[in-house]
Amino acid sequence: MKANSFQGTRINPPRFHRSQLKFYAFLVPFSLLMIFPIFFIINHAFKPQSELFAYPPRFFVRNPTFTNFTELSRLASSSGVPFSRYLVNSLFVTGLGVFLAIFITAFSAYALSKLKFRGKKFLFEINTLALMFVPIAVQIPRYLIIARSGLVDSYMAHILPMIVMPVAMFLIKQFIDQTPNELIESAKIDGASEMEIFLKIIFPIILPAVATVGILAFQALWNDTSTSILYINDESKRTLAFYMQTLTSLQGNTVAGQGMAAAAGLIMFLPNLILFVILQSKVMNTMAHSGIK
């Protein structure tokens, strides 16, 4: 009798219980509020011209069409640099940038968390201080550094400013802090090097945080247009995000331009959505601070 009573009153029952209805009543409306922008982006891309400027505005498309995508493809095929070139640039820059961001951040976080050296706390305080600065606040010194380093008109101008992420450093360090020092010491006694400890012990533990950092780095690199505007003069080294923005702006404020802008927005948004869907379980673990099972 007591067991049944406890089962009916526990905070988080393993199956659905009527006591959970109050949580659904609170969470479902907020979930719909979060998912509506995704539905709007998808619906907006397939709206015909008559619905794009309809008043009052319509949330859902009534007569879906692929006209916006065909017009975007037609305009892209008529440009001087082929569409595939911008796509390859974005894939290369994003892939290499995400890889470097993950490993540089993870290596640095491990050093700040577990290694002993002079100035470690000071360096971490600098990283924490860097969280206060938005990218636009450091745009001028960043440009001066890139220009004087001879990185203008190079792929590294896209990558280097994005791979140092103070938020990612802070996040991964908190995960590594949860790793018992005894586990690392026992590995050292067995003859493991620092690299082996990081790759075989630390890295599997911080995978949820790594997945979150990968998403953040992917979004920053894939959606970046400012680098192509400020640092790149060679059109063949600019990225897809800049190309999409340029294509839609060529039409000004005309109806055709707005339709292509909606189609381009969906094309740029889909990779972000797909990546998040694939890694969402890891992201949830990160938010719950479950670095160690």
Read off the pLDDT of residues 223-268 as tens digits, 9 standing for 90 and up: 998 899 989 988 889 998 888 888 766 655 555 677 888 888 888 8
Four-CA torsion 102, 239, 273, 287, nearest 10 degrees: 30
Ranges of each domain in the chain? 71-287
Q: What is the pLDDT of residue 22?
A: 80
Query: CA-to-CA distance for 90 and 86, rounded, in angstroms?
Result: 6
In CATH, the number for domain 71-287 is 1.10.3720.10
Q: Of 190, 193, 196, 206, give the one whose Cα is nearest residue 113.
A: 206
Q: What is the pLDDT of residue 99?
A: 94
Query: What kind and span of H or E run contains 30?
Result: helix 21-45
Residue 168 contacts by C-beta under 8 Å, 6 or more apart in sequence? Answer: 101, 105, 212, 213, 216, 217
Q: What is the pLDDT of residue 248?
A: 63
**CB-based burial label for 98 (10 Å; 0-12, 13-18, 19+):** buried
Q: What is the pLDDT of residue 258?
A: 79
pLDDT under 70 in the chain at which residues? 1-13, 248-256, 281-293
Query: CA-to-CA distance for 102 and 104, rounded, in angstroms?
Result: 6
Q: Reply yes or no: is the peptide bond before residue 56 cis, omega within 30 of 0.
A: yes
Query: CA-to-CA distance for 143 and 262, rounded, in angstroms?
Result: 31
Q: What is the pLDDT of residue 292?
A: 44
Alpha helices per DSSP H over 198-293: 203-205, 207-222, 226-230, 240-249, 255-287
Residue 69 contacts by C-beta under 8 Å, 6 or more apart in sequence? Answer: 45, 263
